[in-house]
Structure 1
Amino acid sequence: MTVSASKPITLDEFLKLPETKPVREYIDGEIIQKPMPKGRHSRLQGKLCAAVNQVTEDAKIAYAFPELRCSFGSRSIVPDVAVFHWHRIPFHADGEVPDDFKLPPDWTIEILSPEQKPNKVIGNILYCLQHGCRLGWFVDPDDRSILVFLPGQQPELMQGSVSEALPKEARLLVLQEIELELTVDRIFGWLKMEG
């Protein structure tokens, strides 16, 4: 949903506005409200963050943030999951994580909600890649597919239902430094919580 302003505002003016729930993004001079996450979206977001952080946080390799505002270039976006290499997190002098991230993530993950327009979501992934992001995932729970984006390359559509004895090509691409083996089936398998 696009929120109309009486007059166009700048990115700096947008960043001074109070945060809302659900969050709003600033894209090409427009304020766009993201839909409120629902069950499947929240489950996938939480599990993806936990899976990444389980193998990266203690070793200070990377950290996956849910719903983190990232403001860079001419946009302020809130990826569903923003993964930053540890050395790129702009810690305060006391070691605390900052509130403001004025840089793109190393890996951006967007989970499509039914109310969202896919091209707007993919547009944010492409924008991140144009500004230094190294990997993007577009997760579609309805289609049970993940579109994987790398800078300067054609996206690759990954779908489930492959055998458990996985050839390397069937595994989803993650950042090279992160030792994590994920497949489409495993990720969408997280949606099943009973029986």
Structure 2
Amino acid sequence: MTPSIQSRTEITLEEFLQLPETKPASEYINGVIYQKPMPQTEHSWIRTKLGTAINNVGKFEKIVAAFPELNCNFGGSSIVPDIAVFEWHRIPRKPNGRLENRVTIAPDWTIEIWSPDQVVNRMMRRIIFCLNHGTQIVWLVDPEDESVIIFKPNQTPEVKTGDDALPALPVLTDWQLSVRDIIGWLYFE
């Protein structure tokens, strides 16, 4: 189980953002600081492959871009999704077009990869928080169960397994990926 670094305090989001970075990353949700669990091999590999797959479809045609472990500060909290995806026109940029280092909007799509030592309710609170602040779709990938739960605002979550196609952002019209594809990445033969 991942303990919180600090219990409820009077610390503000701005004060949290001034603290030294931790490895693995820390998040600030509802006044509490939590440290994310250390990624293990399956988690790390899925994050790498999935981010690459999204960018291969979305980045070159300027549709979307995926950012692994991006600190996103919105709604009075600071979260670090395993992968944050933004539609191209919403990628935080400076006036000259260069990427903005400080993200202050919710991603359009977040992807979380379940780790055995994560706290279920903390993960659900983060997913609900994102959906309540404008995220269009959230994936919760569970390598152990070989499933992906799809969350969308105001809809019942859907569990996808095997050859089930995984929905993405509507702008990704050429997107094709199944749960089996993701789980297949874990086999090195």
TM range (shorter): over 0.9
Say which of 171, 177, 180 aligns to 2:175.
180
C-alpha contact (below 8 Å) 1:138/1:148 kept by paired residues: yes
Matches within 5 A, 1:74-113: 74-113=76-115
Structure 1 residue 47 displacement after superposition = 0.6
Structure 1 residue 8 displacement after superposition = 2.8
Say which of 164, 187, 192 aligns to 2:187.
192
Aligned to 2:13: 11
Q: How high is the sequence identity, in percent, across the aligned residues? A: 48
Aligned to 2:130: 128
Aligned to 2:68: 66
Q: For 2:17 and 2:70, how far apart are their aligned partners in 1? A: 13
C-alpha contact (below 8 Å) 1:112/1:118 kept by paired residues: no
Q: For 2:23 and 2:157, how far apart are their aligned partners in 1? A: 31
Q: Which amino acid aligns with 2:120?
A: P
Q: For 1:72 and 1:152, how far apart are their aligned partners in 2? A: 20
How many equivalent pairs are there?
A: 186
Structure 1 stretches (4+) deviating beyond 6 angstroms? none
Matches within 5 A, 1:131-150: 131-150=133-152
Q: Give the TM-score normalised by structure 2.
A: 0.94
Unaligned runs of 5+ in 1: 163-169
C-alpha contact (below 8 Å) 1:92/1:98 kept by paired residues: yes
Q: Give the TM-score normalised by structure 1.
A: 0.92
What is the RMSD computed on CA atoms of the aligned residues? Answer: 1.3
Q: For 1:90 and 1:4, how far apart are their aligned partners in 2? A: 30
> What does the per-residue CA deviation read over 1:124-155, in whole Å, with 9 as the maximum and x for residues that have no partner?
11111111110000111111111000110000
Q: Structure 1 residues 116, 6: CA separation in 2 closer, same or farther (over 3 Å shift)? A: closer
